[in-house]
Amino acid sequence: MIKKAELVEQIEKTDLEIANSSKDTWEKNIYLDDEKVLIVGYEKEENFEKEDPEEETVNTYIWYWELRNSENWELLFENRNQKFSFCESEHGTFSDDDKIEDVVGDIDEGEICTWSEQDHIEDISDEIADVTMEWLKKL
């Protein structure tokens, strides 16, 4: 069985790719021993507010992970409890990647996104690995 430190490294180093989904979803597939694949990803939470191009929009993204059989894609375990999330700001065509603060002024996302503590996979990789190791022991 894979060691936790190795799993954490793979979770952190494997690239995210856009998923084949109707939602804004990104995933990384980490292939493990014994025909198992760990899928770690995030998806955009549905926003029911009308977006105004003149106003700042805050989008929330939810982290999730699943353990599947890599041969038949059968779902073995999943964690979609929405415990881990992060948010990103947009203003018109500008996003966080464009340094939105340069467009609309200084933004304290800590005030806007008080629930946002997991912007980077490194923030939650230990927990993902712990849960995944428990799942693997049950098989």
Spans of all domains in the chain: 4-138
Examine the pLDDT at 17 and tell me if it is beyond 80.
yes
Helix runs in the chain, H state only: 4-13, 101-104, 109-112, 125-138
Instruction: Read off the pLDDT of each residue in 49-65 and give the average, rounded to a whole number.
Output: 77
3-class secondary-structure state, position 96: helix
103 closest CA partner among 89, 86, 117: 89
89 closest CA partner among 63, 65, 111, 64: 111
Examine the pLDDT at 88 and tell me if it is beyond 90.
no
Q: Which helix (DSSP H) or strand (DSSP E) does residue 79 occupy?
A: strand 75-79
What distance in Å separates the CA atoms of residue 98 and residue 89, rounded to the nearest whole number? 10
Examine the pLDDT at 102 and tell me if it is beyond 50.
no
E-strand stretches of the chain:
17-18, 25-32, 36-44, 56-69, 75-79, 85-91, 94-95
The 8-class DSSP code of residue 49 comes to S
What pLDDT does 98 receive? 42
8 closest CA partner among 98, 124, 120: 124
Examine the pLDDT at 61 and tell me if it is beyond 70.
yes
